[in-house]
Amino acid sequence: MFEELAIENLAVLDDMGKSMVLRRVSSGVRGNLHLFGGHLDKAGFISEIKSMLSEFFQYGITEEKLETLIGETKSPLLRQKLLDMQVLYRAFQAYTEEKVIVKEEILSLLCRVLPQSQLIRDSVVTLDGYTGFTPIQYELLELLFQCCRKVIVTVTMDPEDNPYRESVQQKLFYMSRHTVCRLIDRAAAAGCSREEDILLKSKLRQDGIRLLKYVQQEDTNFSIQRDCLIRMLETNQ
């Protein structure tokens, strides 16, 4: 897609590159880091800052959102941490702007240019194996809903569960149900219609029942728990 739109390929900064840039820019703004300034030379500290910056990019935390968060924070300690992160964030962005991008920014760049692509217009996009999405990934998905002919997403969950109702986080397949609900919301926000959902019972379930039966038959120690599990699985097929 980037080639189609003749977008210049910027170098992608890997984790080691991010650490090197952070070491360089942090030394220049050390005097403005009232909390972090005395920790920059400690082993592992730059790596921690790098991880936090990566999460900022991954979850779409812009300077504006960070500024809002700082204004809403009541804890003095947390506020100072966020202020120091803001200094480092700005310094990092200023150093890398129009030179390189971090890998977490690729999706943000894709979101900006995807509506211009003609290749995507008649495409069918299939997403398989995801348990959830980050905010920037949901933003990209909403654009795909609008631009593609069809988007197919597979989600793994118990076939007896109601996939359209949220559950508490401690429940099995909580993330799957949460993802389904979020995808429905995003499709509605994009003004897209949905086809009827398809429920497929996994062959793995059938293989698991056969394996349990074989073990139950061959094992010299009969297991009541195993027998109950087999009956439950067969009942819910």
Q: pLDDT of 21-57, one tens digit each? A: 999 999 999 999 999 999 999 999 999 999 999 999 8
Report the alpha-carbon distance of residue 55 to residue 62 in Å, rounded: 11
Amino acid 25: pLDDT:
94
Amino acid 151: pLDDT:
93
Please determine, for residue 116, whether its predicted confidence score (pLDDT) is greater than 60: yes
Angle (deg, nearest 10), helices 45-58 and 15-28: 110
Amino acid 204: pLDDT:
53
Confidence class of residue 60 from pLDDT cuts 50, 70 and 90?
A: confident
Amino acid 153: pLDDT:
92
pTM over 0.75: no
State in Å, rounded, how far the first CA of the chain is from the last one: 43
Amino acid 103: pLDDT:
86
112 or 217, higher pLDDT:
112
Confidence class of residue 104 from pLDDT cuts 50, 70 and 90?
A: confident
pLDDT exceeding 70 applies to what percent of the chain?
Answer: 84
92 or 10, higher pLDDT:
92
Confidence class of residue 218 from pLDDT cuts 50, 70 and 90?
A: low
CATH among 3.40.640.10, 3.40.630.30, 3.40.50.300, 3.10.105.10 for 121-189: 3.40.50.300
Please determine, for residue 227, whether its predicted confidence score (pLDDT) is greater than 80: no
Please determine, for residue 202, whether its predicted confidence score (pLDDT) is greater than 70: no
Question: By mean pLDDT, which of 2-11, 53-62, 161-170, 203-212 is the weakest?
Answer: 203-212
Task: Residue 107: count other Cβ atoms within 10 Å of its Cβ.
Answer: 18
Report the alpha-carbon distance of residue 194 to residue 190 in Å, rounded: 11
Question: By mean pLDDT, which of 23-32, 49-58, 115-124, 207-216 is the weakest?
Answer: 207-216
Vertex 236, ends 179 and 216: CA angle to 5°? 115
Mean pLDDT of the chain: 84
Domain ranges within the chain, ordered by starting residue = 13-104, 121-189, 203-235
Confidence class of residue 224 from pLDDT cuts 50, 70 and 90?
A: low
Handedness of CA 125, 131, 137, 138 (dihedral sign): positive
